[in-house]
Amino acid sequence: MTMAYLAQPDQQQTLEWLDGSTFSVLLDGQATNGQLTVGRFAVGKDEAPPFHMHTLEDEIFMLIKGTALLWLGEEQMELSEGGIVYLPKNIPHGYRITSDTADLLMIATPSGIEGLFRHAGRDITTPRPEDFAITPEKLAEASELYGQVVLGPPR
């Protein structure tokens, strides 16, 4: 990359995501010349994605606020506020939020994972269709398109 990029809050896209949560695309591949994606989740208690792994990118999660259970393969551990985890590609993982709300920062390198969220989610600045839902089928379709492998239901 040869240029810096500044994304003010009004330039960041926020998507409706699983169970009424949101995912904000803070920096995407277009802004970082394909180097990384930075996103932020605002989620509620019991929010949990399917157990999955990434085949194209490494991922870092930082739990800014809240608590969660984390699974790396079959190992379960607690992630507390301020905790951070590095998830190399091809490592099966999942999490479940255990606090009432949580604020998670995600960094993935290289970029591209934002496409999954954009494909299955919904930009909150657009009118919400009455029948909008992130179905297992829609999530599986987005996962396949963007190099994610769903290994099982949420834990």
pLDDT for res 2: 67
Q: How many residues does the chain have?
A: 155
Inform me whether the pLDDT recorded for 74 exceeds 80.
yes
- Express each pLDDT in 50-61 by its tens digit: 999 999 999 999
- Express each pLDDT in 140-151 by its tens digit: 999 999 999 999
Mean pLDDT of the 9-19 span: 94
Query: pTM higher than 0.85, yes or no?
Result: yes
DSSP letter string, 1-29: --S-----GGGSEEEE-GGG-EEEEEE-H
CA-CA distance, 42 to 104, in Å (whole number)? 7
What strands lie across the sheet with 58-65, from one edge to the other? 84-87, 58-65, 101-109, 37-44, 22-27, 13-16, 122-123
pLDDT for res 3: 78
Closest CA to 57 of 113, 8, 140: 113
Residue 13 binned pLDDT confidence (cut-offs 50, 70, 90): very high
Mean pLDDT of the 88-107 span: 98
Q: Which two tokens stand for residue 113?
A: 């994972």
- Express each pLDDT in 111-152 by its tens digit: 999 999 999 999 999 999 999 999 999 999 999 999 999 999
pLDDT for res 96: 97
What three-state secondary structure class fits 120?
helix
pLDDT for res 87: 96
